[in-house]
């Protein structure tokens, strides 16, 4: 198999070849048909997340061991199965849910692998899909994509389930406008799933007018440029009675986006943070109880949410997010383009092409 490994944080991924692994026990071997490139791959390649105030969260301390093959949004064709891998056949085209826990703790036993304290996520802590082949530890993490195009299904594994998991926390989704901060790949995915989930209307916020125009075209009821001095007031004016937002989903997660999202809430409102851009937020405490505000984090999605998302997409169609395909060999160049903000929607590598 051919693969691109992260060998040293801060350095380009390194191409190499090794013997294709054979599946043991409950493992399944996939030939990788599509591997989405996610913005968080850049943080993984850097080796840290920005905590604000000059502090960093080191991924080595969180259990990332090098070398590792990145790539956590994968669709592959089953080419071999271990002796204990039941319910999966060679030739099936499968989406691999990368958010895998230890399988033994209370969270994992509930199917909340995303809340496991010892995650073994594919493409983060174990090898992922920037390779011609990959191993998935158990068939329960595989979802048959049927006739869906692999390159459009792959982003569901991270971008899709992450925004789906966040939108599931919006209790007012059908009755009130939802504010979505960020109109990049993740924002457009969020907007599209919001519609498929029967969302009332979406107010999309970004700092890039081009991206806002794209969100408008994709069905946003209104857009606001966060660079405007009165951006918070503009968002509030678009909510019921101009009182503020019942729910803000922040797919950026920077100091500025958090400030804006939190300040846009109505009494009883919920600020849901998904993005991992990095930074910090200082808030006064009395208004949290007095205004009954919620600040909630949302990390990827559970096993149940992944399954529900696949059912939603099979019933209502794939999210309408622009997808461009590139060969596996281009992975370092794609990372550079992503870092430079040059990518609209999603780039998906096609390792087995």
- Rounded to a whole number of angstroms, the minimum distance from the CB of residue 276 to Zn ion is 9
Q: Specify the stretch interacting with Zn ion by CB under 5 A; choose among 113-121, 145-153, 253-261, 313-321.
A: 113-121
State yes or no: residue 108 binds Zn ion (CB under 5 A): yes
**158 near Zn ion (CB under 5 A):** yes
- Choosing from 101, 165, 244, 269, the residue that interacts with Zn ion (CB under 5 A) is 101
Alpha helices in the chain (DSSP H): 40-46, 106-109, 150-153, 159-167, 185-196, 209-217, 231-237, 255-263, 287-290, 303-316, 331-339
x/- contact string, 26-55, with Zn ion (CB under 5 A)? Answer: ------------x-x---------------
SS3 214: helix
Distance, CA of 149 to CA of 94 (rounded, Å): 11
Closest C-alpha among 108, 215, 106, 113 to residue 165: 113
CA separation for the pair 136, 292 (Å, rounded) = 43
Task: Give 23's DSSP letter.
Answer: P
Instruction: Work out whether 248 is an interface residue with Zn ion (CB under 5 A).
Output: no
CA gap 329, 340 in Å, rounded: 19
- The nearest distance, CB 30 to Zn ion, in angstroms, is 18
Least Cβ distance, residue 136 to Zn ion (angstroms): 17
- State in angstroms the smallest separation of the CB of 41 from Zn ion: 7
From its phi and psi, is residue 205 left (phi > 0), alpha (psi between -120 and 50) or beta?
beta
Among 102, 228, 288, 353, contact with Zn ion (rule: CB under 5 A)? 102
Tell me: does residue 166 bind Zn ion (CB under 5 A): no
Nearer to Zn ion, 101 or 244 (CB): 101
* Choice from 9, 42, 64, 105 touching Zn ion (CB under 5 A): 105
> Alpha-carbon distance 162 to 177, whole Å?
20
Please identify, among the stretches 96-104, 255-263, 272-280, 331-339, the one whose residues bind Zn ion according to the rule CB under 5 A.
96-104
What is the smallest separation between the CB atom of 117 and Zn ion, expressed in angstroms? 7
Type and span of the H or E element at 291: none
134: exposed, middle or buried (Cβ count in 10 Å: 0-12, 13-18, 19+) = buried
Closest approach of Cβ 102 to Zn ion, in Å?
3
Query: By CB under 5 A, how many residues form the interface with Zn ion?
Result: 8
Per-residue contact string for residues 115-134; x = within reach of Zn ion by CB under 5 A: -x------------------
Nearer to Zn ion, 260 or 306 (CB): 306
Q: Please give the Cα distance from 188 to 101 (Å, whole number).
A: 28
CA dihedral of residues 154, 160, 162, 166 (deg, nearest 10): -170
Q: Which is nearer to Zn ion, 41 or 206 (CB)?
A: 41
59 binds Zn ion (CB under 5 A): no
Looking at the Cβ atoms of 143 and 176, the one nearer to Zn ion is: 143
Cα distance between residue 282 and residue 291, in whole Å: 17
Question: Closer to Zn ion at the Cβ: 112 or 176?
Answer: 112
Smallest gap from residue 8 Cβ to Zn ion (A): 21
Beta-sheet strands, E only, within 40-99: 48-52, 55-58, 68-69, 73-81, 93-96
Given the rule CB under 5 A, which residues bind Zn ion?
38, 40, 101-102, 105, 108, 116, 158
């Amino acid at each position: 198999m051919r693969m691109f490994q992260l060998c040293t944080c801060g350095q380009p991924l390194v191409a190499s070849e090794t013997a294709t692994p054979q599946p043991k026990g409950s493992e399944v071997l996939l030939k990788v048909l599509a591997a989405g490139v996610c913005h968080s791959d850049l943080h993984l390649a850097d080796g840290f997340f920005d905590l604000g105030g000059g502090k960093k969260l080191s991924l080595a301390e969180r259990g990332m061991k090098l070398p590792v093959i990145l790539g956590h949004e994968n669709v592959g064709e089953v080419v071999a199965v271990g002796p204990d891998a039941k319910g999966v056949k060679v030739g099936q085209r499968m989406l691999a849910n990368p958010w895998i826990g230890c399988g033994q703790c209370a969270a994992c036993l509930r199917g909340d692998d995303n809340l496991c304290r010892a995650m073994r996520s594919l493409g983060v802590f174990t090898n992922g899909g920037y390779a011609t082949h990959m191993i998935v530890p158990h068939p329960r993490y595989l979802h048959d994509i049927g006739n869906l195009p692999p390159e459009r299904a792959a982003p569901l594994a991270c971008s899709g389930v992450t925004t789906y998991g966040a939108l599931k926390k919006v209790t007012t989704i059908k009755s009130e406008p939802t504010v979505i901060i960020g109109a990049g790949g993740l924002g457009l995915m969020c907007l599209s799933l919001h519609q498929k989930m029967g969302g009332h209307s979406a107010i999309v916020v970004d700092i890039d007018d081009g991206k806002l125009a794209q969100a408008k075209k994709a069905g946003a009821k209104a857009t606001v440029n966060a660079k405007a001095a009165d951006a918070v007031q503009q968002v509030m004016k678009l909510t019921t009675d101009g009182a503020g937002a019942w729910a803000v989903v922040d797919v950026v997660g920077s100091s500025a986006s958090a400030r804006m999202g939190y300040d846009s809430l109505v009494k009883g409102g919920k600020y849901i943070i998904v993005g991992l851009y990095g930074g910090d937020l200082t808030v006064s405490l009395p208004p949290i109880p007095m205004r009954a505000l919620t600040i909630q984090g949302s990390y990827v999605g559970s096993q149940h949410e992944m399954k529900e998302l696949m059912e939603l997409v099979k019933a209502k169609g794939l999210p309408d997010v622009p997808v461009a395909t590139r060969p596996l060999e281009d992975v370092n160049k794609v990372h550079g383009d992503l870092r430079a903000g040059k990518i609209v929607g999603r780039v998906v590598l096609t390792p087995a092409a």
